[in-house]
Amino acid sequence: MLKIYFMRCKFNLFFILCCLPVLLFSQNKLLLSVNENFTIKNNKIKSILEYRIEYSANGDSIKYINFVKNFDNEGNKIEEILYNNDGSIGIKHKSFYDKDNNKIEEINFINDSIVDYKCKYKFKNNNKVEETIFNGDGTISLTKVFIYNDKQNIAEEIEYNSENKQENKCTYEYDNNIIKYSVANSEGEIECNYIYKYDSNSNLIEWVRTSESSKTSLKHTYAYNKDNKKISCIRFKNNQIRNKYTYTYNNSNYLIEEIQFNKNDIQDYAIKYFYNNNGLESFKNEYDSNNKISSKTIYEYMYF
């Protein structure tokens, strides 16, 4: 039996923005988010609609709309809408850009009208130099200031609270294909360190995070094929393998399969990707540890 409903939003975008380390560079190797603008602009995509179908063990399935993403003519995402289960808007996220396609403002709405938070960004020579996050009532939650070195790589990131007192300071060091990043609290004590290592093709091959307070270390290692496509990732905690990922591509270098294995080398899940004639992802199937399909995600595109 197929039931259709609109999924309640499961994500807190404010948490994503504030709690993950956002590492932003100008003409730098370190990129933690995929830049999809070229694909969107090149294909003249106006909107992407995502549906999901989830399958239960007894054979029932549930279909719901997950989100809609809208883009401008430059491929910039200008709006993302996540839906409640009754079809109403749960969260709306809007973005605004300057003439150089730098994102200068974001507004997050609860439902369709209540402002949850707002972010504003200032740029100089296309480098982001300041980021301010406002609460829903317009008061400042925090401010980040970015300082660059003479090679236009970010050197420092300083965070101030609502009372304009320094909370955290992040410092970056560059040594050929290695980037080091440390986070210090308001007392100047180092809380954690990150190390990013790259190969001669600027592919990230190792990521290490050490925590001074919890005395834990995390490490990710990556391998690539001759076309610089990532084919594997191994994640460690305190030098013990946590899980592994493998990636398979077709002759056009499109990702067609991703598999996660646990520490015992047993499959946790697998994802298979399928594309339309324009090379855009049309749907993907997710499989459980027994290779039984658990969900399908379907993408629909609207064009300019």
Residue 125 lies in a domain: yes
Distance from the first to the final alpha carbon of the chain: 36
Cα–Cα distance between 73 and 70 in angstroms, integer?
A: 10
Measuring CA to CA, how many Å separate 219 from each of 184, 212, 292? 20, 15, 31
Confidence of residue 121 (pLDDT cuts 50, 70, 90): very high
Q: Is residue 296 part of a domain?
A: no
Is 15's pLDDT higher than 50?
no
Evaluate if residue 27 carries a pLDDT over 90.
no
Tokens at 267, concatenated: 């499959």
Residue 282 lies in a domain: no
User: According to the model, what pLDDT value does residue 119 have?
Assistant: 98
> pLDDT category, 88, cuts 50, 70, 90?
confident
Q: What is the mean pLDDT of residues 7-29?
A: 36
H or E element in which residue 99 lies: none
Q: pTM higher than 0.85, yes or no?
A: no
In a domain, 294, yes or no: no
Residues 6+ apart with CB under 8 A from 258: 245, 246, 247, 248, 270, 271, 273
pLDDT at 24: 34
Q: What is the pLDDT of residue 204?
A: 97
On whether residue 122 sits in a domain, the answer given is yes
Residue 279 lies in a domain: no
Higher pLDDT, 8 or 146: 146
Residue 277 within any structural domain of the chain: no
Question: From CA 221, how far away is CA 236, in angstroms rounded?
Answer: 9
The contacts of residue 280 (CB under 8 Å, 6+ apart) are 39, 43, 45, 299, 301
Domain count along the chain: 1
249 within a domain of the structure (yes/no): no
- The model's confidence at residue 303, banded by pLDDT at 50, 70 and 90, is very high
Q: CA–CA distance from 258 to each of 14, 92, 207, 268 (Å)?
A: 29, 30, 20, 11
pLDDT digits (tens, 9 = 90+) for 245-290: 999 999 999 999 999 999 999 999 999 999 999 899 999 999 999 9
pLDDT reading at 61 higher than 60: yes
Domain of residue 151 covers: 2-215
Q: How far apart are CA 174 and CA 30, in angstroms?
A: 11
pLDDT at 212: 76
Per-position b or e across 111-121, b if 16+ CB within 10 A of its CB? eeeeebbbbbb
